[in-house]
Amino acid sequence: MSTPDVAIVGVGLHPFGRHGDKQALRMGAEAAQAALADAGTEWSRVRTAYVGSYEVSNPDAIVGLLGLTGIPVRGVFNGCATGGTSLQMAAAAIRHGEADVAMAIGMDKHPRGAFAADPAVAGLPAWYGQTGLFLTTHFFGTKIGKYLHDHGVSTGSLAKIAAKNLRNGSITPHAWRQKPLSEQEILDAPVVNHPLTRYMYCGPDEGAAAVVLCRGDLAREFTSAPVYVRAAELRSRRFGAFELQSPSLPLTSAPSPTVDASRAAYEVAGIGPEEVRVAQLQDTDAGSELIHMAENGFCADGEQERWLAEGATEIGGRLPVNTDGGLIANGEPIGASGLRQIYETVLQLQGRAGARQVGGDPRVGYTHLYGAPGASAVTILSR
């Protein structure tokens, strides 16, 4: 088999959490330097970079901290799919011959609490915000409530997912949430949006992550353990998909953009869901992870109840999911979140994940993002 086009040869992370008055750009630069050090190279070797953020209006200003080398640098924002989009564009730049070494960098620094904005930014009328409908959180309660009803899954499964992610966070040195909670504590916590309780949700926070990519045939110059990008697919929503911020929906439904991105990624990679040994799935809330197990092709709708009862998505299970605790344990700095998934997956495929290392020498990993207003990015990586 010929060498795949694009390799990941270095990853870096600035821990997610709360970091006082430290600037997002500085966190981004530290993550980038860590990724460059991991690749055994320097910023001067990088030929293009994609830098994602929601809160930083000019993320490309990171060159002021990394070095003014004159290379093309592009700011990226694509909702919760920003990190996956940055990675996809960096990989495409390599494939298209624009660069032989590229970086994807993401950073953010969000205020506390639910995201707040004028509905006009999403093309929605003012009354939608005035009457308390312009929020992302209630969508997740609505979707999982419907899903549990339609597919006979219990709220206990939601608690199992949240408990798993907090437990994985407790053995991940850089995770924001380090304290495991019991399923009962999670179920007994205040409800945010029925049936989701406080501990079933992730929170907005701060942090950064970065990835160094290069042309596949150059990978061994940087590392003895390259991880190849087998697919990096992005999809937006189709008419009829059940999405955030929808005052109305047609009676005829379409699959989520996750389903479209996932199917495209499997096809491009020539790899099926049964070959994936570790997965990072968007867990804005425990219900999202539950639904995403099926939408990404790992199980049928409703099978999650049995999978979770068997511990199938635990680190020792047959498909470990969100091995670093996911968004629930790390929070969601939007620009960086998808690159944290890449960071974790690369460590797992290289056997460097410490106490949370997945056994059985995993060779194929999978990452998935989903968010408003209906965008999904899926990446398939392999050794």
Partner 1 sequence: MTTQVAVADGLFTWPAREPRLIASRGDDGVLSFPARSGEEQCLLGRRGTLWAFTTQQFRPPSPPYDGNDTDETFQPYALGYVELPGELLVQARFTEADPAKLRIGQPMELRIVPYTTREDGTEVLTYAFAPVPEDAEVAS
Which lies closer to partner 1 via its Cβ, residue 96 or residue 112? 112
**Which amino acid is residue 237, in one-letter code?**
R
By CB under 8 A, tell whether 248 contacts partner 1: yes
Least CB distance to partner 1 at residue 294 (A): 17
Q: Which of residues 186-215 bind partner 1 (CB under 8 A)?
A: 190-196
Peptide bond preceding 173 in cis form (omega within 30 of 0): no
Which lies closer to partner 1 via its Cβ, residue 132 or residue 359? 132
Least CB distance to partner 1 at residue 158 (A): 13
Instruction: Please pick, from the candidates 40, 152, 173, 247, the single residue that binds partner 1 as defined by CB under 8 A.
Output: 247
Which lies closer to partner 1 via its Cβ, residue 76 or residue 286? 286
Least CB distance to partner 1 at residue 213 (A): 37
Q: Which of 216, 255, 276, 234 is nearest to 95 (CA)?
A: 216
By CB under 8 A, tell whether 355 contacts partner 1: no
By CB under 8 A, tell whether 112 contacts partner 1: no
Least CB distance to partner 1 at residue 247 (A): 5
Instruction: Please pick, from the candidates 142, 154, 178, 357, the single residue that binds partner 1 as defined by CB under 8 A.
Output: 142
Binding segment (CB under 8 A) for partner 1, from list 15-23, 114-122, 328-336, 344-352: 114-122
Least CB distance to partner 1 at residue 119 (A): 6
Q: Which of 105, 16, 90 is nearest to 52 (CA)?
A: 105
By CB under 8 A, tell whether 251 contacts partner 1: yes
Which lies closer to partner 1 via its Cβ, residue 162 or residue 271? 162
Query: What is the C-alpha to C-alpha distance for residues 141 and 118, in angstroms, rounded to an integer?
Result: 22
Distances from the Cα of 168 to the Cαs of 52, 281, 329, in angstroms?
Answer: 26, 14, 8
Its sign, for the CA torsion 218, 93, 80, 153, is negative
By CB under 8 A, tell whether 352 contacts partner 1: no
Q: Does residue 173 contact residue 7 with C-beta atoms inside 8 Å?
A: no
Instruction: Please pick, from the candidates 72, 250, 270, 360, the single residue that binds partner 1 as defined by CB under 8 A.
Output: 250
Query: What is the C-alpha to C-alpha distance for residues 290 and 144, in angstroms, rounded to an integer?
Result: 8
DSSP 73-132: EEEE-BTBTHHHHHHHHHHHHHHTTS-SEEEEEEEEEPPSSS----GGGGT--HHHHHTT
Least CB distance to partner 1 at residue 137 (A): 8
Backbone angles phi, psi at 84, to 5 degrees: -65, -35
By CB under 8 A, tell whether 152 contacts partner 1: no
**Alpha-carbon torsion angle 40, 47, 73, 279, nearest 10:** -50
Least CB distance to partner 1 at residue 327 (A): 19
Which lies closer to partner 1 via its Cβ, residue 20 or residue 132? 132
Which lies closer to partner 1 via its Cβ, residue 135 or residue 218? 135
Instruction: Please pick, from the candidates 18, 72, 98, 118, the single residue that binds partner 1 as defined by CB under 8 A.
Output: 118
By CB under 8 A, tell whether 154 contacts partner 1: no
Q: Which of 288, 310, 308, 318 is nearest to 154 (CA)?
A: 308
Query: What is the C-alpha to C-alpha distance for residues 177 and 338, in angstroms, rounded to an integer?
Result: 18
DSSP 354-380: GGG--SS---EEEEEEEETTTEEEEEE
Binding interface with partner 1 (CB under 8 A): 113-119, 125-135, 138, 141-143, 145-146, 149, 190-196, 246-251
